[in-house]
Amino acid sequence: MIKQLIDQFIDITIREDIGDGDHSSLSCIPESAQGKMYLLVKEDGVLAGVDIALKIFNEIDSSIETEVFIKDGTSVKVGDVVMHVTGKVWSLLQAERLVLNVMQRMSGIATRTAEYVARLEGTKTRVLDTRKTTPGMRYLEKEAVRLGGGVNHRMGLYDMVMLKDNHIDFAGGIEKAIRQVQTYLEEKGKDLKIEVEVRDWNELEEVMRVGGIHRIMLDNFSIDETKKAVTFIDGRFETESSGGITIETLRDYAECGVDYISVGALTHHIKSLDLSLKAMD
* Residue ranges of domains in the chain: 7-115+271-279, 117-268
CB contact at 8 A, 243 and 132 = no
Among residues 111, 144, 118, the alpha carbon closest in space to that of 129 is found at: 144
249-267 pLDDT, tens digit per residue, is: 999 999 999 999 999 999 9
Residues 148-202: tens digit of each pLDDT:
999 999 999 999 999 999 999 999 999 999 999 999 999 999 999 999 999 999 9
Active site residues: 97, 132, 164, 197, 219
56: left (phi over 0), alpha (psi -120 to 50) or beta: alpha
Q: How far apart are CA 18 and CA 90, in angstroms?
A: 11
Query: What sign results for the dihedral spanned by CA atoms 185, 187, 190, 191?
Result: positive
Is the pTM for the entire model greater than 0.85? Answer: yes
- Burial classification of residue 206, based on how many CB atoms lie within 10 Å of its CB (0-12 exposed, 13-18 middle, 19 or more buried): middle
**Domain formed by 7-115+271-279, architecture:** Alpha-Beta Complex (3.90)
Task: Name the residue type at position 93.
Answer: L
Q: How many CA atoms lie within 13 A of 60 on its CB side?
A: 31
Say what the pLDDT of residue 123 is: 98
CATH fold of 117-268: TIM Barrel (3.20.20)
Q: Kindly report the number of other CB atoms within 10 A of residue 118's CB atom.
A: 11
φ/ψ of 207, rounded to 5, equals -60, -45
Sheet with 238-242, edge to edge strand ranges: 126-128, 260-262, 238-242, 215-219, 194-198, 161-163
Q: How far, in Å, CA of 237 to CA of 257, rounded?
A: 12
Q: Provide the pLDDT for residue 220.
A: 96
Angle among Cα 144, 149, 153 to the nearest 5 degrees reads 70
Q: Is the pLDDT of residue 27 over 80?
A: yes
Q: Residue 257 is which amino acid?
A: G
| C-alpha to C-alpha distance for 31 and 53, rounded to whole angstroms | 23
